[in-house]
A = this chain, B = another copy of it.
């Protein structure tokens, strides 16, 4: 299982972390997501997911994936 690390802008609290985590967890192949609103760090573990899928999930949650 691979882990990829992303940086997300706009999360201000634990609710925001939950929103991001929930959307990313819906991507097929994703097994675990951790988000930290203090740093913007989002770690995604699983197989077969793409950066585009993560970017779309983050946008769906209302936040922005840093390039």
Contact = CB atoms under 8 A, between A and B. Distances in A.
Interface of A: 12-13, 15-16, 18-19
The number of times this chain is found in the oligomer is 2
A33 to B, nearest CB: 17
Contact of A12 (B12, B18, B19): B12
A62 to B, nearest CB: 8
9 contacts: A12-B12, A12-B13, A13-B13, A13-B15, A13-B16, A15-B15, A15-B16, A15-B18, A15-B19
A13 B12 CA distance: 7
Given A12-B12, A15-B19, 7 more contacts: A12-B13, A13-B13, A13-B15, A13-B16, A15-B15, A15-B16, A15-B18
